[in-house]
Amino acid sequence: MSLFEKDDWVERLNSTGEVKERAISELREVLMSGLSKSLRNRYANRVQADDVVQDALIRILGKLDTFEGRSKFTTWAMTIAVRSGMSEMRRRHFKDISIESLLGDGMRFEPAAVEASNDDLEKSDLLVKLRELVETTLTDKQRDAVHALLHGMPVEIFAEKTGSNRNAVYKLVHDARVKLRHGFEQAGYKAEDITAVFA
């Protein structure tokens, strides 16, 4: 990226009067153009791009001093706008979907899923091991988070509904995955074996 671009946008947005107004209006146009395309066809078009852009502009102006110039300014601004738009769409999409309704009676491995692979003994062994590891090594919270994720609930929404935050939920699921992987390794299964069997 050119230094000029960084200096130019940030400087103009940090200025006053007409220069600032024009910069804001240009940025709004850039964001609108990107978001109209990228938010379309996601989560059944639950938000209007102009609402998102308005909200994103406030965020962007509020954190101008954190722009480090590692990407173009417009790219940086777009990451903020896209994240903000996606968050809002997810929130609306999952508004009436509770974690309980997704989890039902907890994470279960349908016997059919295991039986169906009886023709493949290795797969069947792995599934039995997986079920055992999930039941014995994960905490209730980890099981719920992994389960909700597998049923399509984004970590961000799971975090909101459980009063946590996205990083913490990602970490919760990450720790669960690592535990399961170690469990498999201790039982003599390497990562390559596991994926090969299920490929």
Partner 1 sequence: MALSKEQIQTLVGLIATSQTDELSCDECFGQIGEYAEKALDGRELSEGMQLIQRHLEQCPCCSEEYKALLDALHEIEV
CA distance 181 to 149: 18
Interaction of residue 46 with partner 1, rule CB under 8 A:
no
**Binding to partner 1 in span 2-21, by CB under 8 A:** none
Q: 139 by DSSP, 3-state: which?
A: coil
Interaction of residue 30 with partner 1, rule CB under 8 A:
yes
Which C-beta is closer to partner 1: that of 14 or that of 167? Answer: 167
To the nearest whole angstrom, how small is the minimum distance from the Cβ of residue 194 to partner 1? 5
Interaction of residue 92 with partner 1, rule CB under 8 A:
no
Q: Calculate the alpha carbon distances from 50 to 10, 86, 96, 172, 184 in Å.
A: 22, 13, 24, 35, 49
Is the C-alpha dihedral spanning 63, 59, 154, 146 positive or negative? positive
Which C-beta is closer to partner 1: that of 16 or that of 180? Answer: 180
Which residue of 57, 86, 138, 145 would you call a contact of partner 1, by CB under 8 A?
Answer: 86
**Binding to partner 1 in span 141-180, by CB under 8 A:** 146-147, 149-151, 154-156, 166-167, 170-171, 174, 177-178, 180
Q: Which stretch binds partner 1 (CB under 8 A): 16-24, 53-61, 74-82, 136-144?
A: 74-82
What are the structure tokens assigned to 114, written together?
A: 């295991």
User: How far is C-alpha 153 from the chain's CA centre?
Assistant: 9
To the nearest whole angstrom, how small is the minimum distance from the Cβ of residue 14 to partner 1? 20
Which DSSP string corresponds to 152-179?
T--HHHHHHHTT--HHHHHHHHHHHHHH
Q: How many CA atoms lie within 13 A of 54 on its CB side?
A: 5
CA distance 174 to 193: 20
Residues at the interface with partner 1 (CB under 8 A): 1, 30, 33-39, 42, 70-72, 74-76, 78-79, 81-83, 85-86, 102-105, 107-110, 113, 116, 126-127, 130, 146-147, 149-151, 154-156, 166-167, 170-171, 174, 177-178, 180-181, 184, 191-192, 194-195, 198
